Amino acid sequence: MPRTPMIAPSLLSADFARLADEVQRVADADWLHVDVMDAHFVPNLTLGLPVVQAIQAVSPVPLDCHLMIEAPERWAPGYAEAGARNVTVHAEACTDPRAVARDLRAAGALAGLALKPGTPLEGYLDVLRDFDTLLVMTVEPGFGGQEFMAEVLPKVRRARELTDTGHLRLLVEVDGGINADTIEQAAEAGADVFVAGSAVYGADDPARAIAALRAQAASAVTG
Ligand code: DX5
Ligand code: ZN
């Protein structure tokens, strides 16, 4: 079955002093990826719920919140209640990922589970039955503009296989280093959703960059 690639620009590479305008510049995107970092789970600090609520109020694009934070059990449901379409928590930070998924879904969002590059998929196969999206990190979380780690792609391939054979029902998302040079490999491996920060916001025309990435991903799967 052909998949329609979804492009999710990451606001991390946008101009934080002009967030409302930056959101409008990617109005053609499928999701708007918002990286929430707490300076504990990752060595960087970005933004939190009040800023996400403000973005939600002006965004024409559904929000995809990527929580790189400790204690997601406590904080994640607030992002779903704020109206985010998808809220992703890190497996490495969760004591009870299933409970988080339940709370996210109850608050009306899709539930996402993220895995750092070194975290194997196999330990989470059962848990993933309660999730809607799987975010495979293709860089170490924390910063934009890092180099794509192709060695993580077997994890994408395996998740695709499990989804295609009906063992799991997931959107498979890749995040980190996705650009014109790497998106085809990620698409071939089976990703559905492509997060791109610097490749979109670093471009002169973000709308064109989104369209180009989408076309590249689509042609990589249809051949
Ligand atoms: C990194 C973030 C990514 C980041 C991607 O921890 O999760 O979403 O913004 O940025 P690029 O596309 O520049 O690698
Ligand atoms: Zn992210």
For 66-76, how does the pLDDT look when each residue is reduced to its tens digit (9 = 90+)? 999 999 999 99
Predicted pLDDT of residue 3: 81
* Average pLDDT for the chain: 97
176 lines ligand 1 (CB under 6 A): yes
* Cβ of residue 196 lying under 6 Å from some atom of ligand 1: yes
Higher pLDDT, 45 or 222: 45
Contacts of residue 87, defined as CB under 8 A and 6 or more positions apart, other chains included, come to 65, 67, 76, 79, 80, 104, 109, 110, 111, 112
| Spatial CA neighbour of 109 closest among 137, 85, 78, 140 | 85
Beta bridge mates, 196: 9
Question: Which ligand 1 atom sits closest to the C-alpha of 144?
Answer: 10
Annotation says 35 is catalytic? yes
CA count, 13 A, side-chain hemisphere, 56: 18
Which ligand is closest in space to the CA of residue 144?
Answer: 1
The predicted-structure confidence for 11-61, as pLDDT tens digits, reads as follows 999 999 999 999 999 999 999 999 999 999 999 999 999 999 999 999 999
Q: What is the pLDDT of residue 2?
A: 66
pTM attached to this predicted model? 0.98
Active-site position among 30, 35, 38, 192:
35
A 10 A CB-CB count for 35 gives 24
Q: What is the pLDDT of residue 222?
A: 85
Question: What pLDDT digit, counting tens, does each position of 131-173 carry?
Answer: 999 999 999 999 999 999 999 999 999 999 999 999 999 999 9
Examine the pLDDT at 1 and tell me if it is beyond 80. Answer: no
Q: Could you read off the pLDDT of 84-104 as tens digits, one per residue?
A: 999 999 999 999 999 999 999
